[in-house]
Each structure stands twice: as structure tokens, then as C-alpha cells.
Amino acid sequence: MVTTPLARDDTAAHVGRLPLTLGVEEEFLLIDPDSGTNVPLADEVVRGLQAAVQGHSRRELRRSMVEMVTPVCTDLSTLRVHLLRHRRAVGDAASAAGARLVAIGATPVAEPHRAVPPQQRYRAMTEHYGPVAADPAVCGCHIHVGVPDPHLVVEVCNRLRLWLPVVQALTANSPLYAGRDTGHASWRSVQLQRWPGVGPTPHFDSRRDYDETVAALVTSQVMLDEAMVYWYARPSATYPTVEVRVSDVCTDVDDTVLVAALVRALVATAVDEAYAGVPVPRVRDCVVAAAHWHAAHSGLDGTLTDLRLGTARPAWELVGDLFSTVESALREHGDLGFVRSRLARLRRVGNGATWQRRTLHRTGDLRAVLQELAERTVAG
């Protein structure tokens, strides 16, 4: 339990300046417009992008996925412009290639073609992990918040543990698999548990503790390299950021902006608590893992685990507690009004898992769900 305030050196003082920077990575699925099955057309789609947008695209393990990465942003309006521009550009390129772009957390029907791209890293992953690496595609949303201090970033990850199950529930958007409702709001979260590097971030006593643990996992060949640490919050292996990767990709662009605002506010609050010496609650890893399973199962349509109390509570009560916890940081970043209104809308209409189920129940037609997904993915 950390009780001593951190000293503010020059780097730390830089972290304390508002606004904290933001970047977002969104993964999208390419599906057949008629059958809804995944189609391996990522290369064709990326080649169809204009050069300015193509530079923000990334290859993934599955050929039915396209990832888009925003530039570094400091305000939500600029972030939204980039997100929407990328979605519409990839949506147009997908249509030209004979596919449909959807923002959904997991493969809803099937993925008959699972050959990996030719990159050496992907071949190594397939050889090492076998059938796990051949699972159908899953699509997440990764939020990067600028924290350049390598020691502070580890403590921030410790402090995020209490709240990431709530973020997971807010963004649950993958209830379907093999053409049916799985009974889980985020099937992506369940599917990813087969990977050894995925799950809640362990508590670390220091940056050295973190580095030694990651080195041991790589040396033991559980992970191929440091980049395969896929914990729900981690010091980015590429950027001077905290990377939060617990969320399903959101279908509505404004829900992506919402989760980015909440995650930035959580990070800012964690930084302030670290400097003030607020103790870090220590919760057993198995209890944190259970809270994440609960969030993946129930989403917002039931209860969630309050890790502060160790009890189940109505999901929207915990969302309210999250909002209260980060309200000051939201206000300081100028995000309070947007987040308040977007949360109110989310409570009225439900998250992605809720409205997918509602559409499926109303129409009895999976194709209607996929059509709505495609339309909402590029709507502004």
C-alpha cells in the first residue's frame, strides 16, 4: 500500500499539465454483406485508402480486421473528427472491396478463412500458441493517455484496477457468436482469456517489479516479447502512455469518445492521488478477475462487482460512483458536459450489447443486426 506522496520532478510536472494527451486505436471487422461471415479482405481495403488515411492503418493477426490509429489529441472534438474520418474512409474502402465494415467486439457468425498474414511475428505467434491464434477475430478499443514518467505509469495502472470492470461493462459490444446470443455482453472478453498475457493488470510495487515480471514471462516463453503483455492497463511498449485495452470496440463513435474521456479522467485522478499519497487499495487478483468476468457477462443489464466493498451492486450505481470519482478531472479537461449527457443517453438506450439484443429480439433476423451495426459504425 503506497502512502508516501511521489516527488514532482520535471517529468512529473509535465504530466500534471492539462490537458493530458489522448490517442485511440480502434479495430474493425470486415464481413460479407449477405452471410455476415468474416471476409479476409483487409489488404484490399487498406490498399483502397487514400495515403493520408492509410498511414493511420495497422495490420492485425486476422485478415478480416483493420485497425485505425488516431494522431495524438488533446481535446475530444478533434479526437472525434479523426475517429469519424477514419471510420468513413475504411467503410468506403470496404464497400469498394465487396465487404461491410462493422464495429463489433467479436465475430458474430463465423470466420471460415483464418490464414495469418505473412509477417514473421504472426507466423511465430501461430506456431507458438497453436489453435488459440486461430480463434475468430475479436476487435477492441485501446485508449492511450500521456504519462511519460516510467515509474508513475506503473502506479497509475495499479490505481485503475478498481474501475476498469466498470469501463468494460460500459463498452460491452459482443453478445453474438456463431449467429446466436452467447448470454455474455462481451464475448470478446471471454474469448481472449485463452491468451496467457490477457487479463487484469497485476499490482506491482515499483517499475523495477514490473520490468522484472515482464522479463520473467518472456524468458519463460509464456510471451514471445514485451509487446505481448496484453493486460487491461499497461505501460505502452511503443509510446510514453498508459494504454487501457479493456474495451470492446464501440459501434457509435460518440461512445468511443466517451470511454476516451472517462479513461483520461481516471488517469488524471490516479496521478493526483499518487502525488497526494492516497493509499492504493490492494485487492486479490482472483477477485479482480472475477469482477471482470462479471462485467463481461452482465454488461450494464444487471449488477457489477464493487471492488472497494467486495459486493455486487446495480451496474448504474457503480457507473455513478465512477463519474463522481473523476468529475473533477472531467471538469478540468472541459469534458464534463459531454460525459454527463452521453452517460444519460447510454442509460436510456443501452450499450452495444443491449441494443444488439433488442434488435435481434424485435426482428428475429441477424442480418438486421449486422445492417444496423454497419450503418451506426460510420454515422456521425
The whole-number pLDDT of residue 12 equals 43
pLDDT score for 210: 97
C-alpha cell at 83: 475517429
CATH number of 10-377: 3.30.590.20
Q: Give residue 17's pLDDT.
A: 60
Given this model, what pLDDT does residue 246 score? 98
- Where do the DSSP E strands lie in 268-330? 303-306, 311-314
Q: What is the structure's pLDDT at 297? A: 98
Number of Cβ within 10 Å of residue 255's Cβ equals 24
The whole-model pTM stands at 0.94
Tracing cell 485503475 back to the chain, one arrives at 160
Residues 6+ apart with CB under 8 A from 3: 277, 279
Element (H, E) at 176: strand 176-177
pLDDT along the chain (380 residues), means of 10: 39 60 98 97 96 94 96 98 98 98 98 90 92 94 97 98 98 97 98 94 96 96 91 95 98 98 98 96 96 98 97 98 98 98 97 97 96 96
- The sign of the dihedral angle between the CA atoms of 290, 295, 297, 302 is positive
- In this prediction, residue 18 carries a pLDDT of 74
Q: In the structure grid, which three cell numbers stand for residue 129, read together?
A: 500458441
What cell numbers appear for 204 in the block?
Answer: 506491482
Instruction: Give the angle 320-230-15 at the CA atoms, nearest 5°.
Output: 60
Residue 19 grid coordinates = 490537458
